């Protein structure tokens, strides 16, 4: 049996896979033939004739004659257009061509496609190659999601909950031998993520070029506004390390168009960029300042070495900062107030400085601890959490 961590809110139940929009086959009447044609072309299919102005015949990537061809109408103007589209969708669903599934996914949920490539040395691929690529890709997406929440050289634990939630709707395809990977980011609500990541990648490339040409790191300071952060530099390091180079590109959803100021050209990084990326990450970590905050949080753990004196408290943050938990050292009086508030099922409010050291997980200079009134439902839930974790009482009283 597993137990929910003390003080953690219940997570929303994930929808059943069959209920996900990715698994709902598109209806022929909802398909724009021009979008289908653009997706087929993007994924390597070739148009080989057809009745001009009426339909085109598309063949899958690979040798001519390999795989089932598709008849795709030019528009919905002809009586048999929906029939042809239905037959094309059925053929894609049955096709063994890997790109067929990607075309169907992009039709089911209009998505921007973010693609990663790693140029690996010649020779057999190790089983860790795909794992490395997937981990680096996820780090890249998370860095982009964090940048949609705030501009910061180092995010740490801040905004993680909201950024991670933004990634819930992203579907990642299968990596081929650790060489390349594609993520499908739904236009709604993921277009801001794709745009911000695109801008951040180009800004990182320009800052690296500036550093390699002049030795100066100033361009990385300005790149923060475009979304570059320590989290992004760490993701790029993970992507490039162990390879001969890497590329990232965004293929924009045909139905939504290309955003202003964006392109489809890949951004390339090489092993020679690693020193600049590492130096930038260190610079961001060192330069990000602490910030004054006024937090409201539920006490989830208390500890001190004896029955009296100062003690350490862990709070589940309810308001005041976009972090899930924070640790704070309180003097004897504030520690006592926090303990009493917890015992009666009340959160506390306090102020201090959220320190960048340790990832913004620690509050220093805390003062003004006061209980906060909440509604009966929340108070009962907090009391139940306390009763389910009786070891808290021992820790709160100084026991080991």
Q: What is the mean pLDDT of each run of 10 residues along the chain (400 residues)?
A: 40 48 76 94 89 86 76 90 94 89 91 95 81 96 97 96 94 79 95 98 98 97 98 98 96 95 96 98 95 95 92 95 96 95 92 94 95 78 60 42
For residue 231, what are its two tokens?
């989290």
The residues with which 330 forms a beta bridge, in sequence order, are 311
Burial 21-48 (b: 16+ CB within 10 A, else e): eeeeebebeebebebbbbbbebbebeee
The pLDDT value recorded for residue 22 is: 58
The pLDDT value recorded for residue 66 is: 64
For residue 149, what are its two tokens?
């929440």
> CA-to-CA distance for 28 and 76, rounded, in angstroms?
10
**102-111 tens-digit pLDDT:** 999 999 999 9
Question: Regarding beta strands 246-251 and 111-118, do their DSSP bridges make them parallel or antiparallel, or are they unpaired?
Answer: antiparallel
> CA-to-CA distance for 146 and 87, rounded, in angstroms?
42
The pLDDT value recorded for residue 399 is: 40
The pLDDT value recorded for residue 398 is: 43
**138-194 tens-digit pLDDT:** 999 999 999 999 999 999 999 999 999 999 999 988 766 778 999 999 999 999 999
Q: What angle do CA 312, 313, 319 make, to 5 degrees?
A: 145
> CA-to-CA distance for 123 and 125, rounded, in angstroms?
6
* pTM, entire model: 0.84
The pLDDT value recorded for residue 23 is: 63
Catalogue the long-range contacts made by 210-215 (C-beta closer than 8 Å, 24 or more residues apart): 211/276, 211/279, 211/280, 212/272, 212/273, 212/276
| Helix (H) / strand (E) containing 368 | strand 362-371
CB 122 within 8 A of CB 285: no
DSSP reduced 3-state for 354 = strand
The pLDDT value recorded for residue 388 is: 56
The pLDDT value recorded for residue 110 is: 93
For residue 391, what are its two tokens?
């070891």
Rounded to 10 degrees, the C-alpha dihedral 137/139/143/148 comes to 70
DSSP reduced 3-state for 126 = coil
> CA-to-CA distance for 75 and 77, rounded, in angstroms?
5
> CA-to-CA distance for 361 and 371, rounded, in angstroms?
21
The pLDDT value recorded for residue 49 is: 81
Question: What are the C-alpha distances in Å from 242 to residues 118, 189, 281?
Answer: 9, 34, 19
Residue written as token pair 């009666």:
344
- Which has the closest alpha carbon to 349: 383, 310, 363? 363
- Which has the closest alpha carbon to 198: 168, 174, 228? 228
> CA-to-CA distance for 227 and 7, rounded, in angstroms?
33
Q: What angle do CA 266, 270, 275 make, to 5 degrees?
A: 130
Strand order in the sheet with 70-73: 46-47, 55-59, 70-73
């Amino acid at each position: 049996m597993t137990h929910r961590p003390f003080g953690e809110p219940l997570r929303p139940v994930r929808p059943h896979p069959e209920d996900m929009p990715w698994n709902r086959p598109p209806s022929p009447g909802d398909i724009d033939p021009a979008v289908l044609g653009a997706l087929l072309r993007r994924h390597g299919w070739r148009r080989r004739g057809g009745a001009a102005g009426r339909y085109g015949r598309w063949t899958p990537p690979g040798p001519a004659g390999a795989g089932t061809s598709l008849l795709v109408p030019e528009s919905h103007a002809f009586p048999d257009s929906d029939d042809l589209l239905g037959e094309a969708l059925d053929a894609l669903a049955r096709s063994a061509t890997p790109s067929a599934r990607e075309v169907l996914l992009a039709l089911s949920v209009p998505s921007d496609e973010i693609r990663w490539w790693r140029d690996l040395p010649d020779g057999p691929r190790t089983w860790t190659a795909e794992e490395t690529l997937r981990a680096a890709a996820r780090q890249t997406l998370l860095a982009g999601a964090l940048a949609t929440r705030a501009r910061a050289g180092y995010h740490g634990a801040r905004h993680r909950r909201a950024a991670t939630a933004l990634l819930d709707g992203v579907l990642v395809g299968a990596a081929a031998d650790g060489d390349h990977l594609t993520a499908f980011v739904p236009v709604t609500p993921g277009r801001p993520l794709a745009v911000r990541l695109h801008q951040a990648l180009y800004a990182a490339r320009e800052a690296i070029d500036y550093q390699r040409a002049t030795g100066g790191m100033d361009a990385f300071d300005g790149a923060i506004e475009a979304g570059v952060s320590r989290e992004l530099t760490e993701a790029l390091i993970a992507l490039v390390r162990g390879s001969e180079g890497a590329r990232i590109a965004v293929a924009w959803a045909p139905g939504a168009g290309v955003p202003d100021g964006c392109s489809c050209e890949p951004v390339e990084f090489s092993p020679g960029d690693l020193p600049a990326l590492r130096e930038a990450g260190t610079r961001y970590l060192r330069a990000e300042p602490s910030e004054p905050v006024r937090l409201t949080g539920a006490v989830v753990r208390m500890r001190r070495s004896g029955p009296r004196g100062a003690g350490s408290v862990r709070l589940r943050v309810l308001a005041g900062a976009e972090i899930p938990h924070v640790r704070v050292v309180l003097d004897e009086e504030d520690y006592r107030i926090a303990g009493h508030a917890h015992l009666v099922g009340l959160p506390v409010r306090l102020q201090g400085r959220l320190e960048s050291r340790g990832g913004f997980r620690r509050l220093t200079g805390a003062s003004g601890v006061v209980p906060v009134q909440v509604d009966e439902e929340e108070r009962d839930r907090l009391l139940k959490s306390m009763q389910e974790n009786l070891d808290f009482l021992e820790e709160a009283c100084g026991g080991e």
